[in-house]
Structure 1
């Protein structure tokens, strides 16, 4: 059910981008217990002018390697599960592809189950 949108600066390899998708998917499987094969990841690359961010907000030193990850998922998870997800994503992406944890920005958007159609014009969770 989660839809993952990854935004980053242009110039990273396909392997690098796939490693981000792999890490986020693994973290969601572990922290949110999403079903196997429930993997929908969209990666968008941006020029410097199209990818603007604060390098110091909340005293976090971000670099040009910043990755913004937006996850749309069903509502109902606990604060503890959300914290576990954020921490696990940062941990896994620091291992591969080697991102600094300061450069992992995650936003979770929660929606009602009936707001999804995975195909065939059917609201599978409604």
Structure 2
């Protein structure tokens, strides 16, 4: 179950926020086979003086309103899957919310089942062990 934290400029409309969230979600479903019902995306705002960045780092042409996507998920995806995921997120954000690909920052944080509790105070590793191999 990936947990996503998306940071958008405070002026981002509710419609664009929805497009961003669903674009990220669909990329996860399409690129790494995440189940459709695993949508957990917390959207946070930033304003002037809260996010400092170089608009041309690494040859990009960024606006003043980049979107930062932090993905925390269980370890085990290949570099090829991650490349496909990053490309799909950038493509979907452009299509769904008009976000320029140069304005999309993506950071991946990987961990193990033992690092999660997804409800009821239950240790996620115990839930996986109960289900057994799928």
- Total equivalences in the alignment: 126
Where in structure 1 do 4 or more consecutive aligned residues deviate above 2 Å?
none
Q: TM (normalized to structure 1)?
A: 0.96
Give me the whole-angstrom Cα distance separating, in 2, the residues matched to 1:77 and 1:64.
32
Once the two structures are TM-superposed, the CA of residue 56 in structure 1 deviates from its matched residue by 1.0
The secondary structure found in structure 1 opposite 2:28 is helix
Let me know the Cα RMSD of the aligned residues. 0.9
Gaps of 5+ in 1: none
Highest CA radius of gyration, 1 or 2? Answer: 2
The secondary structure found in structure 1 opposite 2:49 is helix
Give me the whole-angstrom Cα distance separating, in 2, the residues matched to 1:94 and 1:125.
36
Gaps of 5+ in 2: 127-134
* CA offsets 1:15-37 (integer angstroms, 9 cap, x no match): 11111000000000011111121
Describe how 1:52-71 pairs up with structure 2 within 5 A: 52-71=52-71
Q: TM (normalized to structure 2)?
A: 0.90
